[in-house]
Chains A and B, each alone.
Chain A
Amino acid sequence: MIEKKNKMTLVVLSGDMDKVMAAYIIANGAAAAGMEVIMFFTFWGLKAIQRGNLTGKSIFGRMLGVMNRGGVDAIGPSRLNMGGMGRWMFKLMMKMHGVTPLNELREAAIALGVHLIPCQMSMDVMEISCSDLIPEAEEPVGVAVMLEHANESSIQYFI
């Protein structure tokens, strides 16, 4: 039996602005309360730790890179995006109300020592290389490493 630590593991599958925002807010809150925080980014979630450059090697990979642009500034909300208008409106409204923007939330999480871990298999499939990720992203790993973290954690979330 593994002893639970004061630790939280988040699996971030979604690449939508609202869901990524929730993930970073939860991570910040937990890290601020002294918890060790692991964020495991898989599939669309990788966009939350991408630098935002065009990615891909093959024709399909490059197409995906264009249609699925990464980076916290490029991602839109899961509903009402309306071809980018929703993203613009939400960003403006959040600014009006003084909500901390996504890039600053991510910076705060990094400053509090949150671990940002990419999924190796998703990176392979989507043709995203380590140089396409922000420098704070750690070495890509697989499901076994994520489960080891989750097993030791007292809180696990899948977003």
Chain B
Amino acid sequence: MTDKPALSLDFKGLLCPMPVVKIAMAMKQVKVGQTVEAVATDPGVMADIPAWARTSGNELVELEKREKDIRFVVKRAK
């Protein structure tokens, strides 16, 4: 299990590129090692958030497609 996220965000209804933009802005608000949790509805998030994590060097902790939305958790790595 991971620690409780430092931030919990709602990206429902947001389309490309805003989920990636908002998660990048959220990374600046937390300390290195802390996590941010977000819920989105854009199906593009399933591919885009892992790609963003690889390029930005942050860690994707969780990514799950749920019945009505997608939940993910990322950890600030640097």
Contact = CB atoms under 8 A, between A and B. Distances in A.
A and B physically associate: yes
A27 to B, nearest CB: 9
Interface string B35-75: 00000000000000000100111000000000000000000
B interface majority secondary structure: helix
A152 B58 CA distance: 24
A31 B15 contact: no
Interface in B19-49: 20-21, 23-25
Interface string A78-118: 00000000000000000001111000010010011000000
Contacts of B14: 98, 100
Contacts of B15: 97-100
Contacts of A123: none
A35 B56 CA distance: 8
B6 interface: no
Given A33-B55, A33-B56, A34-B55, A112 B24 contact: yes
Contact of B21 (A28, A97, A98, A99): A28
A32 interface: yes
B5 interface: no
A25 B25 CA distance: 15
A142 interface: no
A113 B52 CA distance: 17
Contacts of B20: 28-29, 32-33
A98 B52 CA distance: 21
B26 to A, nearest CB: 10
B16 A33 contact: no
A112 B52 CA distance: 15
Contacts of B16: 25
Contacts of A34: 24, 55-57
Contacts of B18: 100, 108
Interface string A13-51: 000000000000100110111110000000000000000
Interface of B: 13-18, 20-21, 23-25, 52, 55-57
Interface of A: 25, 28-29, 31-35, 97-100, 105, 108, 111-112
